[in-house]
């Protein structure tokens, strides 16, 4: 059984490499520097007295597809490109002269079709906003967290503009999807390769 499994994995890896769009990870425009630690990625840029970091994890970032049964009948080449990774991402804005970090928890809504009336619909939304002490890795649950569900629209728009001014806008969000999808695919291939070595190991 293991031999057949290993053979299947070999073929699978070959197929996945064939459809791999990016041999190296796509860049995010706007002077962001990328750091990757396993499945977690961080984009950092510094602007006039501020440091902005965007962190996301590719685990569980591919929304479940509704039509999984139909995929079986398709040719392998057809089913893949639909897999897009849309991770939640956290934006941290650190001002040099304060001890606080503004943290904005953003995500891609499940139904991106949502606002049909608006021409300029945002492809991501801010879910939560809070202040956290700068430099502390563990965020405190005791800090007030603003949930945007019941938020005044004007305030929400200002928060979105605040992000856009710092380079986190629709273009960025699109490029983040590209990057995350490429990263996810790269990790998937690596996982298949590790699994193959593991299965072949006597």
Which distant-in-sequence residues (6+ apart) come within 8 Å of 82 by Cβ? 65
Q: Tell which wins on pLDDT, 97 or 112.
A: 97
pTM above 0.95, yes or no: no
Write the DSSP string, 11-72.
Answer: HHHHHHHHH-S-SSPPPPTTTPEEEEETTEEEEEEEETTEEEEEEEE-TT-SPPPTTHHHHT
For residue 12, how many C-alpha atoms fall within 13 Å in the half-sphere facing its CB?
16
Cα–Cα distance, 182 to 21 (Å, whole number) = 7
Contact criterion met (CB below 8 Å) for 79 and 71: yes
Give yes or no for residue 112 having a pLDDT over 70: no
pLDDT of 24: 86
pLDDT at residue 35 tops 50: yes
Residue 33 φ then ψ, to 5°? -100, 135
Q: Which two tokens stand for residue 85?
A: 């990774």
Is the predicted pLDDT of residue 70 greater than 90, yes or no? no
Q: Which CATH architecture has domain 1-60+83-110+119-200?
A: Roll (3.10)
120-179 pLDDT per residue, tens:
588 999 999 999 888 766 666 778 899 999 889 999 999 999 999 999 999 999 999 999
């Amino acid at each position: 059984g293991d031999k057949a499994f290993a053979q299947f994995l070999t073929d699978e890896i070959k197929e996945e490499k064939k459809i791999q769009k990016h041999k190296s990870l796509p860049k995010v425009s706007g002077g962001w520097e990328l750091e990757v630690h396993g499945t977690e990625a961080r984009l950092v840029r510094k602007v006039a007295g501020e440091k902005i970091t965007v962190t996301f994890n590719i685990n569980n970032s591919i929304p479940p597809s509704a039509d999984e049964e139909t995929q079986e009948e398709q040719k392998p080449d057809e089913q893949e490109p639909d897999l897009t990774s849309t991770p939640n991402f956290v934006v941290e804005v650190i001002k040099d002269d304060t001890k606080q970090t503004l943290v904005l928890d953003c995500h891609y809504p499940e139904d991106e079709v949502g606002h049909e009336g608006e021409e300029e619909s945002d492809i991501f939304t801010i879910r939560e906003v809070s202040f956290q002490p700068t430099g502390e890795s563990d965020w405190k649950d005791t800090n007030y967290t603003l949930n945007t569900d019941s938020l005044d629209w004007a305030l929400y728009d200002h928060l979105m503009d605040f992000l856009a001014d710092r380079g986190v806008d629709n273009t960025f969000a699109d490029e983040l999807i590209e990057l995350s999808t490429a990263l996810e695919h790269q990790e998937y291939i690596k996982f298949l390769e590790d699994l193959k070595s593991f299965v072949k190991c006597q």
